């Protein structure tokens, strides 16, 4: 138990990095980390460094593993299940395949064209950007493993329920006809050497970091401002746990935002530190991640407005319910 705790503190929370940044800010910059300016600079450097280190290592590892599982192989595996089991497998595949919400849309087209029920593809579409392994590790590094595991469970639950409802509503007619007309090449995945997989993983790190670096900097900057400059009284007045509308407000604010989970995590961290309910912070994070504007624009090209509205409505309602549940019982996880 001691070894696990030490590894968690040093590898995930990176207490060694926190100490080094403290020395940098205090001894090199000559600032007090307990004051607003010094505290903000410390928060920014520490969180940015930690997120980029963890993100690079995790994306490299996950991408190397992912190189063994092509989208076509995933489609074939999902085709072996039906009913609630199929939706569960779709959600689980979304969890272990780290596609962002935008890159999941082509897979949605491929899965639907291949004959999979749209409920399965929507379960995949919800879980893929919401509960990838990298985000889970980062949540554990910022909060703790209990919260990270609970986040995974509720994310998968939302994906399974959302996909199951869409499947039972028989909404196939609201998918654009061209989706069913595309033909897939049924070929075995290309055999890759170990060197090929390393190159692929390295390119994935580069590509993903290029896509998210700005959002990470913006998110950490906002988090530093919330943590050190905005009085707790103001945050509590808007999003305090005693405000019944806090989850609703956080979800509605998050839906139209264009950001990445890696950029919203520091904001959630700062909000919780200011006394905002865990469920409220997670609602904001989930809304931003699962319902980003670019992914909805792309999805609108392949499904009709009614199906898109049902999808958005179901996910939004699920996030709100999850938020209130975490606010009610989140203290058990802290």
Asked if the structure places residue 121 within a domain, the reply is yes
* Alpha carbon distance 78, 72 (integer Å): 10
> For position 184, what pLDDT does the model report?
46
pLDDT digits 0-9 by tens, 234-290: 776 777 777 888 999 888 887 766 566 677 888 888 888 888 899 999 998 888 877
> For position 186, what pLDDT does the model report?
44
Q: Which long-range contacts (CB under 8 A, 24 or more apart) does 16-22 make?
A: 17/46, 17/49, 17/50, 17/53, 18/46, 21/45, 21/46, 21/49
Asked if the structure places residue 265 within a domain, the reply is yes
When divided into structural domains, the chain yields a total of 1
Asked if the structure places residue 90 within a domain, the reply is yes
Asked if the structure places residue 280 within a domain, the reply is yes
* Alpha carbon distance 95, 313 (integer Å): 22
Asked if the structure places residue 182 within a domain, the reply is no
> For position 185, what pLDDT does the model report?
43
**Prediction pTM value:** 0.72
> For position 235, what pLDDT does the model report?
73
Residue 239 C-alpha from the chain's centroid:
22
Give every CB contact of residue 284 below 8 A, 6+ residues apart in sequence.
250, 251, 253, 254, 264, 267, 268, 271
Asked if the structure places residue 211 within a domain, the reply is yes
> For position 41, what pLDDT does the model report?
94
pLDDT digits 0-9 by tens, 147-186: 999 998 998 999 999 999 998 998 888 887 776 665 444 4
* Alpha carbon distance 156, 261 (integer Å): 16
> For position 280, what pLDDT does the model report?
92
Q: By the 8 A CB rule, do 310 and 163 touch?
A: no
Asked if the structure places residue 185 within a domain, the reply is no
Neighbours of 57 (CB within 10 A): 14
> For position 31, what pLDDT does the model report?
93
Domain housing 204 = 2-176+191-332
Q: By the 8 A CB rule, do 295 and 105 touch?
A: yes
What are the structure tokens assigned to 45, written together? 């450097």
Residues of the chain with pLDDT under 70: 1-2, 4-5, 7-8, 62, 66, 69-79, 81, 96-111, 113-115, 179-190, 232, 236, 256-261, 293-294, 298
Which among 15, 64, 102 has a CA at the least distance from the CA of 193?
64
What is the per-residue DSSP string for 277-299?
A: -HHHHHHHHHHHHHT-HHHHHHH
Asked if the structure places residue 183 within a domain, the reply is no
């Amino acid at each position: 138990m001691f070894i696990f705790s030490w590894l968690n503190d040093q590898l995930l929370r990176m207490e060694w990095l926190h100490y080094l940044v403290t020395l940098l800010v205090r001894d090199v910059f000559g600032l007090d980390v307990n004051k607003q300016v010094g505290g903000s600079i410390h928060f920014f450097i520490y969180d940015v460094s930690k997120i980029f280190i963890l993100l690079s290592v995790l994306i490299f590892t996950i991408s190397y593993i992912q190189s063994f599982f092509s989208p076509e192989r995933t489609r074939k595996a999902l085709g072996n299940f039906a009913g609630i089991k199929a939706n569960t497998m779709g959600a689980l595949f979304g969890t272990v395949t780290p596609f962002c919400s935008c890159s999941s849309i082509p897979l949605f087209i491929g899965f639907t064209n291949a004959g999979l029920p749209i409920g399965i593809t929507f379960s995949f579409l919800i879980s893929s950007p919401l509960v990838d392994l990298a985000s889970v590790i980062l949540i554990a590094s910022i909060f703790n493993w209990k919260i990270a595991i609970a986040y995974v469970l509720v994310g998968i639950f939302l994906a399974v329920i959302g996909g199951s409802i869409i499947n039972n509503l028989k909404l196939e007619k609201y998918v654009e006809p061209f989706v069913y007309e595309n033909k897939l090449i049924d070929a075995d995945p290309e055999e890759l050497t170990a060197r090929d997989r390393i190159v692929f993983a390295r390119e994935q790190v580069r590509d993903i970091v290029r896509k998210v670096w700005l959002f990470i900097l913006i998110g950490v900057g906002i988090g530093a401002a919330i943590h050190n400059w905005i009085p707790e009284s103001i945050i509590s007045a808007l999003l305090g746990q005693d405000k019944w509308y806090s989850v609703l407000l956080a979800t509605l604010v998050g839906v139209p935002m264009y950001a990445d989970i890696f950029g919203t995590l520091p904001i959630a961290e700062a909000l919780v530190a200011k006394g905002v309910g865990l469920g409220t912070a997670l609602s904001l994070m989930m809304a931003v991640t699962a319902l980003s504007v670019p992914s909805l624009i792309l999805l609108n090209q392949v499904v009709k407005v009614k199906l898109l509205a049902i999808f958005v409505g179901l996910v939004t309602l699920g996030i709100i319910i999850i938020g209130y549940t975490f606010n009610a019982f989140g203290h058990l996880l802290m």
